[in-house]
Amino acid sequence: MSQWIDACATDDVDDEDLIAWMHNGRNYAIYNTEKGYFASDLMCTHEEQSLEDGMVIDCVIECPLHGGRFDICTGKALSAPCTTDLVTYPVKVEAGRVFIALD
Comparing CB distances to ligand FES, the nearer of 66 and 97 is 66
For the chain, give the number of residues. Answer: 103
Closest CB to ligand FES among residues 10, 27? 27
Position 76 contacts ligand FES (CB under 6 A): no
The verdict on 29 binding ligand FES (CB under 6 A) reads no
Residue 49 binds to ligand FES (criterion: CB under 6 A)? yes
Is there binding between residue 46 and ligand FES (CB under 6 A)? yes
Q: Decide: 94 and 48 in contact? Cβ < 8 Å.
A: no
Give the number of residues in contact with ligand FES, rule: CB under 6 A: 10
- Point out which span in 21-29, 30-38, 61-69, 95-103 binds ligand FES (CB under 6 A): 61-69
Which of 36, 51, 13, 16 has its CA nearest to residue 91? Answer: 36
Contacts of 37 (CB under 8 A, 6+ apart): 10, 13, 30, 31, 91, 93, 98
C-alpha to C-alpha distances, 30 to 58, 59, 81, nearest whole angstrom: 14, 12, 23
Residues at the site binding ligand FES, with contacts judged by CB under 6 A: 44, 46-47, 49, 63, 65-66, 68, 81-82
